[in-house]
């Protein structure tokens, strides 16, 4: 799943997983934030990049994702899985392809979420998260039941440090800079689709249809 920060990748992934039960997912952003929370050595490296809105180096990310796929044994089990936030550069796409080929696998669907930038900026302003679970709330259209508290644990919600306006602009620019090469790579493989809309409610049925078509 490809999409600018704030395009709804996390929200749409969790909706998708409820409907398509064969599917599992990983979000590289969530995993990195967990490493930061654990204060692991990987987390310390990740924190430096994330707080500046920069992308982590491709080799670091390729190793990180390969290790995660290995731990979950998805490739050996030929599981169906969704990657949220990876690949994020053309180089990562190539590295992922090489890793999958070792297991005789391929990415069979890449979906770009296309949401207007003005909608994204408004969302980020209203985005609050429950850091340890990755649950995301929006104060205007998906507010928590108790203001600023997670619905499940009751723990306080926080703002992501990289959601401040200056850092966010850097992240948005980086996304569009990299999108072209990733798009070309997957278009050549014939697996690239775009779904457009202002809200996740508009995008979700289109996304679901695309994903379900891979299971029938």
Query: Which residues make up the interface to ligand AMP (CB under 6 A)?
Result: 5, 28-29, 32, 49-50, 53-56, 61, 85-86, 88, 92, 162, 171
Which lies closer to ligand AMP via its Cβ, residue 177 or residue 212? 177
Nearer to ligand AMP, 85 or 144 (CB): 85
Max CA distance (Å), the chain: 48
Smallest separation, CB 215 to ligand AMP (Å): 25
Residue 16 · residue 208 · CB < 8 Å: yes
Was 55 annotated as part of a binding site? yes
Closer to ligand AMP by CB, 30 or 150: give it. 30
Among residues 50 and 69, whose Cβ is nearest to ligand AMP?
Answer: 50
* 7 annotated to a ligand binding site: yes
29 in a known ligand binding site = no
Distance of closest approach, residue 88 Cβ to ligand AMP, in angstroms: 4
* Rg of the chain on CA atoms, in Å: 17
115 DSSP assignment:
-
Contacts 24+ apart (CB under 8 A), 37-44: 37/131, 37/132
- Residue 44 phi, psi dihedral angles, 5° rounding: -65, -40
Note whether 120 and 172 are within 8 A (CB). yes
DSSP classification of residue 161: G
Bind-site residues: 6-11, 28, 33, 54-56, 85-88, 92, 127, 136-137, 160, 171, 200
Bind-site residues for GTP: 6-11, 127, 136-137, 200
């Amino acid at each position: 799943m490809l999409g600018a920060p704030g395009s709804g990748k996390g929200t749409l992934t969790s909706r998708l997983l409820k409907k398509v039960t064969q599917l599992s997912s990983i979000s590289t952003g969530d995993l990195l934030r967990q490493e930061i929370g654990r204060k692991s050595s990987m987390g310390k490296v990740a924190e430096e990049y994330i707080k500046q809105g920069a992308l982590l180096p491709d080799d670091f990310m390729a190793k990180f994702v390969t290790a995660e796929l290995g731990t979950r044994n998805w490739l050996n089990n030929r599981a169906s899985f969704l990657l949220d936030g990876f690949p994020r550069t053309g180089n990562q796409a190539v590295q992922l392809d090489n890793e999958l080929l070792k297991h005789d696998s391929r990415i069979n669907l890449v979906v770009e979420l296309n949401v207007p930038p003005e909608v994204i900026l408004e969302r980020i302003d209203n985005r609050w998260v429950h850091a340890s679970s990755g649950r995301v709330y929006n104060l205007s259209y998906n507010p928590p039941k108790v203001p600023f508290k997670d619905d499940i644990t009751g723990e306080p919600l926080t703002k992501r440090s990289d959601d401040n306006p200056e850092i966010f602009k850097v992240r948005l620019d980086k996304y569009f800079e990299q999108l072209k090469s990733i798009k070309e790579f997957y278009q050549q493989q014939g697996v690239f689709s775009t779904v457009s809309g202002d809200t996740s409610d508009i995008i979700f049925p289109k996304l679901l249809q695309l994903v379900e078509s891979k299971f029938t």
